Amino acid sequence: MARSAALTNAGSTSDAASHDPHALMRIKNLQLRARAVVEGFYNGLHRSPFHGFSVEFSEYRPYTPGDDPRGLDWKLYARSDRYFIKRFEDETNRHVYLVLDRSRSMGFGTLAYDKSQYAVTLAATLAYFLSLQRDSVGLLTFDESVGEFVPARQRPGHFRQLMVALARPLAGSSTNLDVPLQQLAQLIAKRGLVILISDLLAPLQTLQQNLGLLRSRGHEVMILRTLDPGELQLSLPGPTTVRDMETGRELYLDPAAARQQYNQNFSAHREQIRSICNSLGVDLYELPTDQPLADALLHVVSNQKQRSGRGGRRGMLARGVSRGGRSSSPGGTP
């Protein structure tokens, strides 16, 4: 009875943390934070109408006419009354690269946490989820230059290596979107999915060219744009001196006088990003840091589900987000 109560309380904690970023950020351990989001996401799917996302095991795929019946798992059929084909390694092992902005502007925040904490937690959540799906996950961090680079792998200890890289504090200054995208295009040969997590508060003159380079080499690209609510709407309470976090330049600002111009500039910058992404077939999601991280996970999964449904090869993440039985954590936590 005590064990059942403990499991119920743990599930409630995961649900609460996955829906409330403030509660989530109070969890000090990054891996536990990521796990709370993923567990809450699973629980939400089980209670939602999104049953089309679910299969019994990540190492299986539904049988379709034309498949070799020798690959059917009859024991699984006896339990589920559904036909599944055992998945081979080349089907399950996909390459996904998380490209994370670690520039100083990501340290901005009007909440109890900043954009960097939110973005790091988002990257950890995606790494955890992808590892559960047996994908190979890599990481590249950047500011004005490339910082950490962890090649995409799927092996014991790799998830912990990702967590160590993500836990390092901000050390960069300005944002250079060109260098990481160019370097990643040179480093990764196998086609995969590139997920860029950034506020994109940088000049965009060459963004189209560099995203186009990745797309021309067959990679799918998704951008998760992370923004603080105070950036979406200029919310200074009164005239004050503000400092550019990347250049250190200070200026006096009256929000009443600057608000209209700020909103115009922000909207123009946002529209430029949307235009670039639309022209290249790059998926763009804007994520205010007061929104649940499970929403971002749903964006990623549903996007890949839609891609797989439009024909061609299967989407990389739409291969079963529901588990049949208990799964072990990538980092070894039960």
pLDDT at position 50? 40
pLDDT at position 16? 63
49 pLDDT more than 60: no
Q: What's the CA gap between 236 and 238, in Å, rounded?
A: 6
pLDDT at position 159? 95
Name 248's Cβ contacts closer than 8 Å, sequence gap at least 6: none
Structure tokens at 83: 């036909």
> Are residues 199 and 174 in contact, defined by beta-carbon separation less than 8 angstroms?
no
Q: What is the DSSP string of 92-153?
A: H--EEEEEEE-SGGGG--SSSS-HHHHHHHHHHHHHHHHHHTT-EEEEEEESSSEEEEEEEE
pLDDT at position 240? 66
- The three-point CA angle 263-266-271 to 5° equals 120
**What stretch(es) of the chain map to CATH 3.40.50.410?**
93-291
Burial 266-298, CB ≥16 within 10 A → b, else e? beeebeebeebbeeeebbbeebbbeebbbebbb
- Torsion from C-alpha of 310, 211, 139, 119, nearest 10 degrees: -90
311 pLDDT more than 60: no
Q: Pick the most confident of 37-51, 91-105, 133-147, 312-326.
A: 133-147
DSSP conformation class of 315: P
Task: Pick 44 or 332 by higher pLDDT.
Answer: 44
Structure tokens at 223: 């951008």
- What are the tens digits of pLDDT across the range 141-184? 998 888 899 999 988 899 999 999 999 888 766 788 888 899 99
pLDDT at position 318? 41
Average pLDDT of the residues in 46-67:
52
User: What is the CATH T-level fold of the domain 93-291, as seen in this structure?
Assistant: Rossmann fold (3.40.50)
